[in-house]
Structure 1
Amino acid sequence: MGKVWVDLTHPFSAEIPRWPYFVKPVIDSMHTMAKGGVLTQRVDCVQHTGTHADAPRHVMEREFDGRRARYTHEMPVDAYTGDAVCLEINIHPWGLILPEHLEDACERANIKPSELKGMVVCLNTGMHRLFDDSKEYYHYAKGTGIEAGKWFVKQQVKCVAMDSQALDHPLHTAMGKNGPPMMNLRGATGKPITDEYIEKFGIEAYAEFDKE
């Protein structure tokens, strides 16, 4: 059997759901067939709108080998392609994905963690079914943190894909109190989502998102 290419992208449009502080994409025509005999369109949007891949430069100034972190156009095409495995993550809503969840997913997929070396690892949390401009999709997503990141490095995976608003758990992002502009958005109860999380899971669980 030959290789199968799988398109994981959401359809792109001016109405595509986007991060809470991103401006709406603008798609307009510069030329039209009636006006000039050609069709030329202009698309204005913020990076990371819709399905996308992060370049190293998005999150670091230097890569682990000390060189300046690369932009997307400096990455080889095969950095984002290759043999892949989809791991189904069993975790409660708004959960922080830990190595134990990844180990469990590997066991159910009948693959050893050591066999992930050089592979594209896709995490299926079920969040793709909720893709929408909603608090449910953005505020209360499942996501990873530093412990999962260390696990991926240990297994020497090629790259990681995810069906959520980001690889990061929402409280590891600016939707909570991490990174500018540190919005700490209000959730379904009207309270800041950090307060909601503490009420639901306890202050010790929230401490994972409040480390220096």
Structure 2
Amino acid sequence: MVDKPSKVFSLSHPISPRIPLWPGDPPVAFEDVASRDKDGYFLRRFSMGEHSATHMNAPNSFYAGGMGIDGYRPEDLVRPAVVIDVHGKTQSNPDYEICPLDIEAWERQHGLIEPGSVVLMYTGWQHLWNDPIAFFGQDAQGSHFPGIGEAAIRFLLEQRQIAGVGIDTHGVDPGQSTAFATNHAVLAGNGIVLECLTHLDRLPAKGATLVIGVLGLEGGSGSPASVMAFIP
């Protein structure tokens, strides 16, 4: 018999037409197609971008010929997770780039990050979700939100052999990035990239297990994701 976890948290935001959307992405839309009064049952259709709401990116979103979201195996999507809390550094600097020093500080307190882990970055941006203007910080220079710097992702992939990363902003790369180095580096190895997570402040620094549910969209560049965290 499998031991029941002591706590289970959803790390996904509810999906509605009011969610923050990456500039240029299609809106979230719902349409009734059957009603209980007329048809005896209620049914809607919905449409949205593959990278909207809490979602997972696929390699083919950045690499021609890369794997689609339907290429991930079930066992790829169950992973140990660690949470690195950087929200104290991001509140005064929305352009903050998470660096190796942040990782080293975490490891001094909690030990080395184990290979195969998904590293989740808590920036505090999850609390801005219901304010799309603040969530993106858009101005003439583009978006302003924190993300994982190139040196940090290289360290995590090369020195710690992680399985992927996640964050509570709309991008694992900083909002000012145009190179998307973190996405490129993780997805080059068919790793996991999770964006727009929430409730990261409720998780322990280590010990949680992620179960990532995605839609098996044929050739999909990504998918809205139902991400659950199990705490033993």
TM-score (norm 2): 0.65
* C-alpha RMSD of matched pairs (Å): 2.2
How many residues are paired up?
166
**Is 1:20 aligned with 2:30?**
no
Give the secondary-structure state (helix, strand or coil) at the position aligned to 2:31: strand
1:186: which partner in 2? Answer: none
1:51: which partner in 2? Answer: 54
2:227: which partner in 1? Answer: none
CA distance in 1, matches of 2:30, 2:119: 33
Highest relative contact order (Cα 8 Å, sep 6+), 1 or 2? 2
* C-alpha deviation, 1:2, in angstroms: 4.8
- 4+ runs deviating over 6 angstroms: none
CA distance in 2, matches of 1:44, 1:29: 12
2:157: which partner in 1? Answer: 153
Give the secondary-structure state (helix, strand or coil) at the position aligned to 1:6: strand
2:146 aligned to which of 136, 142, 154: 142
* C-alpha deviation, 1:133, in angstroms: 4.1
**Correspondence list, 1:97-136, <5 A:** 97-108=98-109, 110-112=110-112, 115-136=113-134
Change in Cα spacing, 1:127 to 1:141, as seen in structure 2 (3 Å) is same
Max Rg structure: 1
CA distance in 2, matches of 1:19, 1:106: 33
CA distance in 1, matches of 2:128, 2:107: 24
8 Å contact from structure 1 (residues 130, 136) kept in 2: yes
CA distance in 2, matches of 1:173, 1:132: 25
CA distance in 2, matches of 1:56, 1:77: 17
**Is 1:10 aligned with 2:7?**
no
Normalized per residue, the structure richer in strand is: 2
* C-alpha deviation, 1:151, in angstroms: 1.5
Change in Cα spacing, 1:140 to 1:105, as seen in structure 2 (3 Å) is farther
**Correspondence list, 1:33-72, <5 A:** 33-61=36-64, 68-72=65-69
CA distance in 2, matches of 1:5, 1:52: 19
* C-alpha deviation, 1:21, in angstroms: 1.9
Q: Percent identity?
A: 22
CA distance in 2, matches of 1:51, 1:163: 9
CA distance in 2, matches of 1:156, 1:5: 26
8 Å contact from structure 2 (residues 122, 168) kept in 1: yes
C-alpha deviations, 1:137-185, integer Å up to 9, x for none? 21321112322221121111111111111101011149xxxxxxxxxxx
Normalized per residue, the structure richer in helix is: 1
* C-alpha deviation, 1:87, in angstroms: 1.2
CA distance in 2, matches of 1:34, 1:148: 56
* Structure 2, gaps ≥5 residues long: 137-142, 180-232
1:77: which partner in 2? Answer: 74
* C-alpha deviation, 1:38, in angstroms: 2.1
